Structure 1
Amino acid sequence: MIIKHFSTSINTKVFAHRLRQARLRMGIAQDKLGVMVGLDEGVASARISRYESGVHEPPLDTAKGIAHALGVPLGYLYCDDDLLADIILAASELPAADQEKFLESLRDRLEQLKTKKDDC
């Protein structure tokens, strides 16, 4: 398994972009989202704004709360590839049994491609 290491600035920019996308898609105001994840009303809007602008990246527990409040997987908020982020989001909306079938289908397809490549 290859693990990519990103600089904090890339992670922060990706998180900021995905957070804003998800929040706007849900139609939730910054202050409301902040309060939903346990931030004080007085700082909720400013804090979410800073996360969306990439000035700050939230602690992991806060990021998990944001993902939960927005109904997206945590991995979506940190995914730096738009297509993969869409796949993560779509797969997360499937019932658990369908997620298993989807994963099995992906693995089968990858095996087909590998076999085809090995035959060449």
Structure 2
Amino acid sequence: MPAALPTATALGRRLRAARLAKGWTQAQLGELLLESDDPNTAAPRISRYERGMHTPDLDTIERLAKLLDLPAAYFVANSEVVAEAILVISQMSPRKQKEALSLIKQLAAERRTE
């Protein structure tokens, strides 16, 4: 019986979803990341990240985020709500980002007084 695949981490699940949203294979993303045309090394690396077998270093996360047009913080957020908030806020204009931050601070202050 083959060994069970490792459970994907939040980073792995988010990376896979972002890659699929672009319509890319693991080999395509890996080739862009590694600037290589060797799918024998590119695809397995992305697969290991997605399955949670390896965690990319911060520099690699930043390069992946740039390739996928997403903020790096999205991949390392500690909860799904925070990750989604990062995505939503990152898509706003700078003025709207400031407004959103102000509202979030307001909500946080209200919670402390309850």
Give the aligned partner of residue 93 of structure 1.
Answer: 91
Query: Which residue of structure 2 aligns with residue 30 of structure 1?
Result: 26
Counterpart of 2:48?
A: 50
The answer to whether the 8 A contact 1:18-1:78 is kept is no
Alignment of 1:6-21 (within 5 A): 13-21=9-17
Match of 2:61 among 52, 60, 63: 63
Report the TM-score, using the length of structure 1 for normalisation. Answer: 0.76
Q: Which amino acid aligns with 2:33?
A: V
Secondary structure of the 2:104 match is helix
Count of aligned residue pairs for this structure pair: 106
Distance in 2, Cα, partners of 1:19 & 1:85: 12
- Aligned-residue offset at 1:92: 1.0
User: Which one-letter code corresponds to 2:55 in the other structure?
Assistant: E
Root-mean-square deviation (CA, aligned residues, Å) is 2.0
TM-score scaled by structure 2? 0.79
Q: Structure 2, unaligned stretches of length 5 or more?
A: 1-6
Q: What is the CA distance between 1:106 and its match in structure 2?
A: 1.3
Q: Distance in 1 between matches of 2:96 and 2:34?
A: 32
Query: Which whole-Å CA distance do the structure 1 matches of 2:55 and 2:84 have between them?
Result: 22
Retained in 2: the 8 A contact 1:17–1:52?
yes
Match of 2:103 in 1: 105
Deviation at 1:39, TM superposition (A): 4.0
Q: Which whole-Å CA distance do the structure 2 matches of 1:35 and 1:98 have between them? A: 36
- Give a deviation string over 1:18-73, Cα, whole Å, max 9, x none: 11121112222212212222342212112111111112112221111001111111
1:114 partner SS: helix
SS of the equivalent of 2:55 reads coil
Distance 1:60 1:114 in 2: 33
Helix, strand or coil for the counterpart of 2:17?
helix
